[in-house]
A and B are shown apart, each in its own frame.
Chain A
Amino acid sequence: MASRYRKALDEFGAMLGVGWDTERSARLAGWLQNRDPRCKAVAALALLITVALVRSPATLAVLYAFCLFVTATSRLSVTRLMRRAWIAAAVFTGLIALPAVLNVFTPGPTAVQLPFGWAVTTTGLTTAARLLLRALTSLHVLWLVVYTTPWNRVLAALGSLGAPAPAVVTLGITHRYAFLLTRMAGEMMASRSARTVGHIDGARNRAQITNAAGTLLLHSHHSASAVHGAMIARGFTGRFRSLEPFRATWRDVVLVLLALALSFAAWSIDRHAF
């Protein structure tokens, strides 16, 4: 099998794995899974804004530790979620943070002297730590919601919080068909690789990718009218409903109050102590 196809198949498989993993985790009987999705969304938003506002890496580290604690209480694998978040943060933010430690970009007191007049500065380390911790904590806050709430409950919560119905329904369809199209794309790659022997040159790769992408676009185009017909046939009214009605209990209120209190405390301590 050509390595190019294997790589594509791995990517498609990983993507499908994430979708399956989030739905499975969301159905566990953990503390956060039992909370009202609307309250989780409000709490997460408060924490995300706080993470963006605070400046000290120490405050960010405390917020990150709090997220890890909540992860553990929700029967989620702390190490697995940490690994995912660290990999994502390293890929998307680490590339920015790494050069920032050098005196060329962030002048300041030298922490480690490097050859050719280069040095790692303490101010550079602070900047990089701030960037990485902020990215990690933001990701963890978001995933605490995603991994503890089935996607249709997230959408229903968005709708009840005032998000426009067309946007909510479009997101729902996008999510469902993204996984379906990914599976189709994976099957295309698998069937192609089964018929491929030896090296594939760039031109042939481009032709095959084009055919696969074009076919998927045509499939999307034709499926859209079929999906619309099915929606009309079953009496779709434009509202996304959940089978379980939302009921906020005192525990949900505690969650929101806890998030707001933590956000306020982190923000004020960060402003005055650092």
Chain B
Amino acid sequence: MHIPDGTISPSTAVVGYAAVAPFWFIASRKASKELKSAAIPRLGLYAAFSFVLMMFNVQLPGGTSGHAVGGALAAIALGPWQAVLAVSAALAIQAVFFADGGILALGLNCFIMAVALPFSAWYAFRLLRRGRLPELPAAAVAGWFGLMIGALLVAIALGIQPALFRAEDGTALYFPFGLAVALPAMLIPHALVAAPIEGLVSALVYGFLVRSQSGLVQDRPVEEGRMKLWPAWIGLLLMILLTPVGLLAQGTAWGEWGSEELEKLAGYLPKGFAAGQLESPTHVAPDYVIPGLPDMPGYVVSAVVGVICVLALVWVLGIALRERKPAPGDS
């Protein structure tokens, strides 16, 4: 998951540093405000721990093994802001001494593994705990989800390279595969191996910390108080604004071919597939294109409409499934 130097353009590297810089700044401010100078050795030691954790090979049921990033565990146990600094320092040491990730790519690697991964895992954990899911399954799902968000961002960062940076002879200057290859190549193995390991390690070590009664996780009650939702809204808005990135992808996503494309690829068109291809009059925006709008705003409008529909559905479901308070006298 560590992006090496040479696979992304210098301008992408600059974007990576620009994206992570505000998080480094806020995390440093928060750390020094909350913990005074004690924050420094604490963060240094947690970073050292994250570094060592990445060297533990864990066996999955089925025989596969791999290592965790530790970003989800750091976020759940320490809080996301401390995880930002701890995982960033671990990534810096890895890049400098062990060639695990590049120096120019360090900003982007930190944004993905030290910001996006811990924050998404942290919010997933809090949401699941508010939904009354027990701690260990919540930590496991949060670890899985956080790593998948990280893998998705790596795939996007790498997959847009050939569309943006090409030599005069048409060859890719940096990462050579487009989104159509990068997305499945990153997401499928991560969903099956790396993310389950991250989830497993997060849940098991979290369970160990709870059992050891160290006070490291007990002083962060997740069910109490109102959860701040503005970071989630900002994240959602950013994702909506980023949807036109999909336009850079060449070809069709794997498994989403139309009849003509499938016939070209396979040499024939399966009968069942042809029978299932119906043009529905209910398709308001086929391929996310809004009639009368250019592609890019059409994508954004489609995303906004989709998000509103999903939120409305969740809201309705929430009302339907809401736990009724027992009336006085109910047994």
A interface, CB within 8 angstroms of B:
4, 7-8, 11-12, 15, 18-19, 22, 48-49, 51-53, 55, 84-85, 88-89, 92-93, 96-97, 99-100, 105-106, 108, 123-124, 126-128, 130-131, 134-135, 138-139, 142, 146, 164, 166-167, 169-178, 180-182, 185, 202, 205-207, 209-214, 216-218, 220-221, 223-225, 227-228, 231-232, 236, 238
Question: B residues within 8 A CB of A182?
Answer: 51-52, 55
Q: Are A167 and B102 in contact (CB under 8 A)?
A: no
- Taking A123-B169, A173-B41 as contacts, is the C-beta distance between A185 and B52 under 8 angstroms? yes
Residue B205 contacts which of A49, A180, A214, A231 (CB distance < 8 angstroms)? A214
Residues of chain B within 8 A of A167, CB atoms compared: 24, 28
Which residues on B sit within 8 Å (CB–CB) of A172? 44
Nearest-neighbour CB distance to chain A for B155, whole angstroms, equals: 12
Interchain CB contact under 8 A, B10 and A52: yes
A135 CB contacts on chain B under 8 angstroms: 4-7, 102
Mask of B70-108 contacts with A, CB within 8 angstroms, 1/0: 000000010000000100011011011111101110000
Which residues from A are CB-within-8-Å of B288?
none
Q: Are A174 and B44 in contact (CB under 8 A)?
A: yes
Please give, as numbers and ranges, the residues of chain A lying within 8 Å of B41 by CB-CB distance. 173, 223-225, 227-228, 231
Which residue numbers of B lie inside 8 Å of A, CB to CB? 2, 4-7, 9-10, 13, 24, 28, 31-32, 37-49, 51-53, 55-61, 63, 77, 85, 89-90, 92-93, 95-100, 102-104, 167, 169-177, 181, 200-201, 204-205, 207-209, 212, 214, 216
Q: Which of B38, B42, B93 contacts A178 (CB 8 A)?
A: B93
Question: Contact check: which of B48, B92, B95 meets A173 at CB < 8 Å?
Answer: B48
Query: In the complex, A199 Cα to B38 Cα: how many Å?
Result: 44
With known contacts A170-B47, A178-B93, A220-B46, A138–B58 Cβ distance under 8 A: no
Say which residue of B13, B57, B92 sits within 8 Å of A8 (CB atoms): B57
What is the bound-complex CA distance between A221 and B46, given in angstroms?
A: 7
CA distance in complex: A167, B84 (Å): 12
The interface residues of chain B, by DSSP majority, are classed as: helix
Closest CB of chain A to B90's CB: distance in Å? 7
Complex: A182 Cα to B50 Cα, angstroms: 11
Closest beta carbon of chain A to B212's beta carbon, Å = 6
By the criterion CB–CB under 8 Å, are A216 and B97 in contact?
no
- Residues of B contacting A228 with CB < 8 Å? 37-38, 40-42
Q: For B6, what are the chain A residues with a Cβ–Cβ distance below 8 Å?
A: 51-52, 93, 131, 134-135, 138
Extra contacts, 8 of them, besides A92-B4, A173-B47, A217-B205 (Cβ < 8 A), are A51-B6, A100-B177, A130-B173, A138-B4, A174-B47, A174-B48, A210-B205, A216-B49
How many angstroms between the C-alpha atoms of A124 and B172 in the bound complex? 9
With both chains docked as a complex, state the minimum distance between the C-beta of B203 and any C-beta of chain A, in angstroms: 9
A53-B10, A123-B170, A206-B58 as given contacts; A164 in contact with B28, CB under 8 Å: yes
> Complex formed: what's the CA distance from A209 to B214 in Å?
18
Known contacts A48-B103, A88-B99, A185-B52; A93 and B4 CB within 8 A of each other: yes
Contact A19 B55 (CB under 8 A): no
- Listed from nearest, the 8 A-B pairs whose CB atoms lie closest are A173-B44, A214-B208, A134-B6, A177-B48, A88-B99, A210-B204, A138-B5, A224-B42
